[in-house]
Amino acid sequence: MNKIYIMVLCLLGVSQLNGQEFAERAFNDTRVINSHSVEMIEQGLMDFRVYHRFGDIAGSQGGWQNFYGLENSTDVSIGLDYGINDHINVGIARTKGTGELRQLVNTYAKVRLMRQQNNGRNPVSITVLGVANISTMQKSETDGVLSFFPQFSNRLAYHSQLMIARRFNSRLSAQLNFNYTYRDIVYVYDQNDILSVGLSTRIRLSKATAFIFDGTYPILVGQRDTPQTYFLPISVGLEFETGGGHIFQINLTNAKGISETDYIPYTFSNWAAGEFRFGFTIARTFSVL
């Protein structure tokens, strides 16, 4: 389906991990709000996670009439991730979706190519990700809409991501993301593929609490001629490790979608206009062996 996506999947069979003196984790969770992080689930562990995005806090669609967005839901996702080994993870999730293509089944494979070492031999951690989504919504009878699905492949979308992260000290970690997103069907004013770059950071505030930031900049967005004004998906949040394999995260974001093939091309909400929303993530890791 695109050479770039195939190349990323080929990388999933490669793992270049040398040395034993690894640095501590750059991030506490496998996700940083919207984006994946370089971190992995250990072998034999299952990670159950729930995401929720509410409606606009303010703006024309927010305010008291919908209790500042808490009475609305823009997106919901429930999924399972599994550690095949310490360096290869797979996952599946069901996501409501926010665009015209909804009822998404998201699958992914993720591999760690390099892990940061204390001796400086590996100054960074490197992980690659491949995502495939399929819309399971009913075929529309209206010709011209995306869900008309002239072909089965029109239901599919893909995302690949290269993540490079470094833990600078006990409090600060940062990650650069290089992304390629492909949607099989789009409107004539849009484009199928989008290149983007992203930045994720984690600042530890206490032993169990951290401030997290996540932002993505689509490089080719200027070539699109969408009827709506596009805004960069930017998110901030607090992460809490509650012990026993639990991670709880609360966040504010202008991105309505949760899936990469949703929030990267379809963020039309403006922070300055109050078009941002409250969200949370609950993750629970447990052993299945």
In tens, the pLDDT along 256-279 reads 999 999 999 999 999 999 899 999
Residue 48's CATH number? 2.40.160.40
CA angle 218, 173, 166 (to 5 degrees): 85
CB neighbourhood size of 153 (10 A): 11
Structure confidence by residue, pLDDT tens digits, 10-42: 444 444 444 457 778 999 999 999 999 999 999
Q: Model pTM greater than 0.85?
A: yes
CA distances from 214 to 93, 114, 234, 253 (A): 21, 22, 6, 9
CA distances from 143 to 136, 146, 188, 189 (A): 18, 8, 14, 17
Amino acid identity, residue 71?
A: E
115, 122 Cβ separation under 8 angstroms: yes
Q: Look-up: residue for tokens 């991105």?
A: 255
Please provide the size of the chain in residues. 289
The Cα–Cα gap between 268 and 26 comes to: 31
On average, the pLDDT of the chain sits at 88
Number of separate domains in the chain: 1
Q: 119 Cβ partners below 8 Å, 6+ apart?
A: 19, 21
Cα–Cα dist 116/204, whole Å: 18
pLDDT band (50, 70, 90) for residue 225: low
Q: Which residue range forms the structural domain that includes residue 270?
A: 3-287
H or E, element range at 196? strand 193-204
Q: Does the pLDDT value for residue 5 go beyond 70?
A: no
How large is the average pLDDT for residues 216-242? 82
Identify the H or E element spanning 9. helix 3-11
What is residue 229's predicted lDDT score, i.e. its pLDDT?
84
Contacts of 207 (CB under 8 A, 6+ apart): none
Closest CA to 78 of 57, 111, 103: 103
- Say if residue 220's pLDDT is above 70: no
The Cα–Cα gap between 288 and 43 comes to 10
Q: What is the mean predicted confidence (pLDDT) over 4-14?
A: 44
Q: Which DSSP letter does residue 265 get?
A: T
Q: Is the dihedral angle over the CA atoms 8, 14, 19, 22 positive or is it negative?
A: positive
Mean pLDDT of the 177-203 span: 93
